[in-house]
Amino acid sequence: MQKLLVVDEQPVMRVGIAHALQVAGMSVEVEGVGSAPEAITKLRAGGWDAAMIDIGLSDAGGMSFLSRVVKTHPDLAVLVFTAMPESPYGLRALRTGAAGFLHKSASSEVLADALGRVLSGRRYVSPVLAEQLADRMVNDSDRVPHELLTDREFEIFRLIALGMSIADIGEALKISPKTVHVHRSNILRKTGLADNRALTSYAFEHRLIPGRRSEDRESSGKEGAEPPST
């Protein structure tokens, strides 16, 4: 029997996935963990055929964690199952090495189909994501600025836009504040944006972060999220 590791912070989601696959008649052993460190420990033990990962984990840089899993376990079929929007996360996840990307709004039938595909060595791409891929092939020169960022830069971009300070980002991603500061400088250079306030506005307009009230968006550009002066 094939083994699936579900990485999701919500216990009800982990149980629900196992139930949905059982109802669909899939012969797969499902085990769930709620954090990135737990997932890393489980994966190191070996014996897994696939992993279903939510890149919205609060204790890990989503895309960076995905990249780490793909690089350290190249034979593992990874299906991203998340509430993050398909645009832009779907394309980025596929480029990182995921075998498929599925939004949590998908039905149980679609979930079973997607997992079945990746377990058989194929890829799962939703109709929405397939259209995005086709558009990108035709109009590759029209890439928006945030698509020029590396996975690490993109994750830091998102955390800055959410209002996190340089120190908090460093702690969350297990890197030094100085390294975060360097990434931030590269992000501003690549996107052509001026400061944290502009980053937040851009992220909101491109649906890279959840919608918030205007006063919240304004507060995220304050000094707390700026790098320390030198």
Q: Give this prediction's pTM.
A: 0.75
Residue 80 and residue 154: Cα distance in Å, rounded?
Answer: 17
Short-list 41, 32, 44, 37, CA closest to 7: 32
* pLDDT tens digits, one per residue of 129-145: 888 777 766 665 567 88
Under the banding of pLDDT at 50, 70 and 90, the label for residue 51 is very high
* pLDDT tens digits, one per residue of 146-178: 888 888 898 899 899 989 999 999 988 889 999
* pLDDT tens digits, one per residue of 75-115: 999 999 999 888 788 888 998 999 999 999 999 999 999 99
- What is the percent of the chain with per-residue pLDDT over 70, rounded to a whole number? 87
With both helix axes pointing from N to C terminus, report the angle between 36-45 and 62-72 in degrees, rounded to the nearest 10: 10
Q: Which residues, 6 or more positions from 230, have their beta carbon under 8 angstroms from its beta carbon?
A: none
Confidence (pLDDT) at 141: 54
